[in-house]
Amino acid sequence: MAQIRVAFLGPAGSFSHEAALQLYGPSAAEFVPCVSFAVAFSAVQRKTAHCAVIPFENSTNGSVVQTLDLLADHGNLYSDIVVHDEHYLAVHHCLLAHKNAAVQQGPDSSYRSITKLYTHPQAWGQCEQFLSRYYKGVERQDVSSTSKAAEIVSRDATGQSAAIASRFAADHYGTSILEANIEDKHENTTRFLVLRNLESMRTDGAAGLPETDNNTMASHIEISPPSQKQKVLIAFTINHSSPGALADALLTFKTHGMNLTSINSRPSLVRAWQYIFFVECEAISHAHFDDVAEKMLQGLRNVTESCRNLGNWRDRLLAG
């Protein structure tokens, strides 16, 4: 089979890279680092990548709003993008420094030499207990990704800078690990979505993306029976001047036997204080799933201003 191209938020060594590798294995795919989520979305929309692996939510920090805003597709740029699968990745943060840095440990278990910390803004929040205990008042520099932070400190032999990033990034950039598992919640997990191009899925048929179930790297699938639950993601807007419109839309899911599992809202950017809602729901039974989902969408179209089916996929949580 020809190599597939998998887009992810780079640089190399990112959590997205790790998730993509777990899903598709090192040999069957070419991994394409992207400078932003928008570039990864574009790659799938323009079919320069077969799929993109994009973080959707973290068990501690909640939703990734940049992903929601791209799925909202305010500019109508990603009309063919749908969610095809999901993947759960355990997120452990480590404190990294240059491999030769002579870091000096203080009496309180902090490394005294460190005067500047680098990481992605979301990671500060995930390591707040560790940071407030040992690195209170130390300068923090936001960077675009945890792997970028690892790369920066891999070039600073003074040992004055440290990065919060993964063991995967430490291996990738050859840094030392000063402390492992510094995250507040050790069960911290990020859920990634696999995005595909709906049109390619229709035309490629069997020549499309390999099922991740069959992939040797996806060992988490093999040890547990796969869940029978099927998830759907719907984005909709309502007429905000109509009282009860949101309740009516949400009631539609129940009417069609779908269980609401999560709700997110983001500014619609059409008018201030109006929102686009993202609802994930699941069917208890897999039987006639497509029929049920289609009828539910018809029902939703009657009570919403706009409504988009962002795809359906098998729940991977119970299989983890």
Residues that bind a copy of itself (CB under 8 A): 58-63, 65, 121, 141-142, 185, 187, 189, 191, 240, 243-244, 246-248, 250-251, 253-254, 259-267, 269, 272-273, 275, 277, 284, 317
Return the number of the residue (187 or 291) whose C-beta is nearest a copy of itself. Answer: 187
- Give the residue carrying structure tokens 């598992």: 181
CB of 141 vs a copy of itself, minimal distance in Å: 7
Strand spans (E) along 99-229? 116-119, 139-142, 161-165, 176-179, 189-197
Judged by phi (left if over 0) then psi (alpha if -120 to 50, else beta), residue 216 lies in alpha
CB of 172 vs a copy of itself, minimal distance in Å: 25
Return the number of the residue (249 or 310) whose C-beta is nearest a copy of itself. Answer: 249
Return the number of the residue (29 or 182) whose C-beta is nearest a copy of itself. Answer: 182
CA distances (Å), 74 to each of 77, 106, 150, 255, in order?
8, 50, 33, 29
Whole-angstrom distance, CA of residue 55 vs CA of residue 194: 9
* Nearest one of 4, 7, 49 to 28, comparing CA atoms: 4
Return the number of the residue (112 or 186) whose C-beta is nearest a copy of itself. Answer: 186
Burial of 112 (0-12, 13-18, 19+ CB in 10 A): exposed
Return the number of the residue (102 or 269) whose C-beta is nearest a copy of itself. Answer: 269
- Give the residue carrying structure tokens 């000096």: 104
CB of 88 vs a copy of itself, minimal distance in Å: 9
Q: Vertex 53, ends 233 and 219: CA angle to 5°?
A: 100
Return the number of the residue (215 or 261) whose C-beta is nearest a copy of itself. Answer: 261
Whole-angstrom distance, CA of residue 232 vs CA of residue 281: 5
CB of 240 vs a copy of itself, minimal distance in Å: 8
Return the number of the residue (208 or 267) whose C-beta is nearest a copy of itself. Answer: 267
CB of 273 vs a copy of itself, minimal distance in Å: 6
CB of 34 vs a copy of itself, minimal distance in Å: 16
CB of 198 vs a copy of itself, minimal distance in Å: 27
Q: How many helices (H) and strands (E) does the chain have?
A: 11, 15
Q: Are strands 176-179 and 116-119 parallel, antiparallel or unpaired?
A: unpaired
